[in-house]
Structure 1
Amino acid sequence: MIKVRKAEMEKIAPLFSGIQDSMVIACLQGYMGDAFVRSWESPEAALIISGEYSFFGGRADSKDGIYLAEHFFDADPGDESVAIFDEDEPEWERILMDQAHNHPVPVTRFGIVQKDYDFDRDLLRQYSQTVPDGFLLKAFDEDIYCQAMKEAWSREFCETFASADDFLSRGFGFAVLDNGLLVSGASTMTVYDGGAELQVATRESHRCRGLAMACAAATVLKCVEMGIRPCWDAANLISRSMALKLGYEYKGEYMTVHMHR
């Protein structure tokens, strides 16, 4: 498997034309994530890995596509990944599900329309001020970054960045603290020219208190103020509901494949 250099991303960009995802854009622009091909001579398929997500572009039934599916974990250092592919190339689902050694599981996600929104800033401010008494809403700093990277539930906030300095210089987010402990947050998990992909999560012991909503609203509001498109994709119905309350539009369900080493 060949890793694509940043200067060569243009060659594989057409293979991902059907995937409107900010993490794909960020990789193709050379900001974050890694891309791979089987062969550099006229590749018919390519793979992008960004944190816990992977994107398969091009022809699934080509030699390149089958090879990338079969040898996925040769490229991904992690133990699991959410595989996303072009909805107009449904053959990817079959190819990925055929890889029994990757322990594939089909999982439905809920797509949010990717566009420039005219968010209601007053509404976002109202949501960001709904943190219950006893909790503190605070912008991400080095301490919050370090806390996030120590636990599985919060690692996606920052894991695509090289370091705390990298995150704090290129990304941002807001967290809710309970006596100094990170219990909920929202961050720009991926950044690219003019946009970012948001990650929202809450510690299991602190869910159903509106903490994530406050963090998400504060992060979206900052994106709006900075002229950045805050992209959102929903892994579950709760995330979809939050997105609609914030002013996003629902696109519909789509299928992914979860793979485990």
Structure 2
Amino acid sequence: MIEIKKNLEKYYELFKSYEVFQNFIKYAIRDFSPQIFVENEENPQCIVFYLNPAFFILGEPSEQHNKDVFSLFKKDSWIIASSNAWKEVIQDYFKDGVVTHLRIQFSSTSLNLDHIRSQRRNTPTGLSIVPIEKKHVIEGMIFDDVISKFFTQSDFLSNGFGFALVDDQGVCHGFSITNYPIVGHEIELYFRVGYESYQHHRFKGMGTTLCTYFIEESFKKGYVPIWDSANDISTHIAKKLGYKEEKVWFMYHYL
């Protein structure tokens, strides 16, 4: 594969219409200079967009360039392909060296705010849901899970928003948040409640409730809250809130 060093903008434009992870791609282009690789400079049939830790493949698999594409991938990286035709090819080549994750992209066109509010639950005693402020993003779960990964170049309070589930001491036990810095009118919702090692506040409707606040605030601000599910719980909540399944796709973790 050949790395493109000049006129990157014309290749970036191709990825701005990528069907999945649009928010990540747009933020990557705005805040960084992602690398672009092609198998043929004159008439590329396969283009790879890379910003650590994600590789995006645009094009169909071909015996002529598959191995060249795969040679780019680094350990502990994520692989996203524009076509599910890559699934069998990637699995056959990497075998146990890759883990395949099924994902579901949802459409937000059928969301109804009254229905979303009806899914809201009261917080347990000692907990409250508040807008995310500076004190919530300096350290703790929001910093570890989102800020330290995706807001290294952009200030969160200027380029994002969300809600935190906090206790009486101000400790954060969950959140719903813009997963990446906002670029454009679509924003991707990301939520979490607790840790695998501390699940006390899970299974009480707090994940759903956090999401209802985020979606309502998105509408107020004029944004479209998009949802891309990575697990069964996320899929269940998306459908409960009124999202409609739009696309099933796969993401690959190269171990």
Answering whether residue 105 of structure 2 is matched by residue 111 of structure 1, we say yes
Q: 1:203 to 1:188 in 2, by over 3 A?
A: same
Answering whether residue 188 of structure 2 is matched by residue 197 of structure 1, we say yes
Separation (CA, whole Å) in 2 of partners of 1:157 and 1:253: 28
Separation (CA, whole Å) in 1 of partners of 2:4 and 2:127: 44
Which structure has the larger Rg over C-alpha atoms?
2
Cα RMSD between the aligned structures? 3.3
Of the candidates 147, 171, 179, which is equivalent to residue 140 of structure 2? 147
Answering whether residue 137 of structure 2 is matched by residue 137 of structure 1, we say no
Q: Give the structure 2 partner of residue 219 of structure 1.
A: 214
Q: 1:231 to 1:54 in 2, by over 3 A?
A: farther
What secondary structure, in the 3-state scheme, does the structure 1 residue paired with 2:111 have? coil
Structure 2: gaps of 5 or more residues? none
Report the residue type matching 1:130 in the other structure: N
Taking the TM superposition and a 5 Å limit, the aligned residue runs for 1:1-261 are 2=3, 8-14=8-14, 17=17, 19-23=19-23, 26-27=26-27, 30-31=30-31, 34-38=34-38, 41-42=41-42, 43-49=44-50, 53-61=54-62, 66-73=67-74, 80-87=76-83, 90=85, 92-100=86-94, 103-113=97-107, 117=109, 119-128=111-120, 130-145=122-137, 146-148=139-141, 151=144, 155-156=145-146, 159-162=149-152, 166-178=155-167, 179-190=169-180, 191-204=182-195, 205=199, 206-251=201-246, 253-260=248-255
Q: 1:241 to 1:140 in 2, by over 3 A?
A: same
What secondary structure, in the 3-state scheme, does the structure 1 residue paired with 2:101 have? strand
What secondary structure, in the 3-state scheme, does the structure 2 residue paired with 1:208 have? coil
Separation (CA, whole Å) in 2 of partners of 1:61 and 1:258: 21
Q: 1:157 to 1:248 in 2, by over 3 A?
A: farther
* 188-197 vs 21-30, which moves further: 21-30
Equivalent pair of 2:49/2:57 in contact (CA under 8 Å): yes
Instruction: For residue 130 of structure 1, report the CA deviation from its aligned partner.
Output: 2.9
Instruction: For residue 4 of structure 1, report the CA deviation from its aligned partner.
Output: 6.6
Percent identity of equivalent pairs: 20
Q: 1:39 to 1:250 in 2, by over 3 A?
A: closer
Instruction: For residue 193 of structure 1, report the CA deviation from its aligned partner.
Output: 1.0
What secondary structure, in the 3-state scheme, does the structure 2 residue paired with 1:30 have? helix
Equivalent pair of 1:175/1:185 in contact (CA under 8 Å): yes
Please list the CA deviations of residues 206-253 of structure 1 after superposition, one character each: whole Å capped at 9, or x if unmatched. 321212112111111111111111110111121111111222111353
Q: 1:57 to 1:82 in 2, by over 3 A?
A: same
Instruction: For residue 50 of structure 1, report the CA deviation from its aligned partner.
Output: 5.9
Equivalent pair of 2:16/2:22 in contact (CA under 8 Å): no
Separation (CA, whole Å) in 2 of partners of 1:144 and 1:255: 33
Please list the CA deviations of residues 110-154 of structure 1 after superposition, one character each: whole Å capped at 9, or x if unmatched. 2313x5x25322333444553222112121222222323554xxx
Separation (CA, whole Å) in 2 of partners of 1:128 and 1:26: 31
**What TM-score does the superposition give when structure 1 sets the normalisation length?**
0.77
Q: 1:223 to 1:61 in 2, by over 3 A?
A: same
Structure 1: gaps of 5 or more residues? 74-78
**What TM-score does the superposition give when structure 2 sets the normalisation length?**
0.79
Separation (CA, whole Å) in 2 of partners of 1:4 and 1:27: 20
Separation (CA, whole Å) in 2 of partners of 1:81 and 1:10: 25
Separation (CA, whole Å) in 2 of partners of 1:253 and 1:61: 22
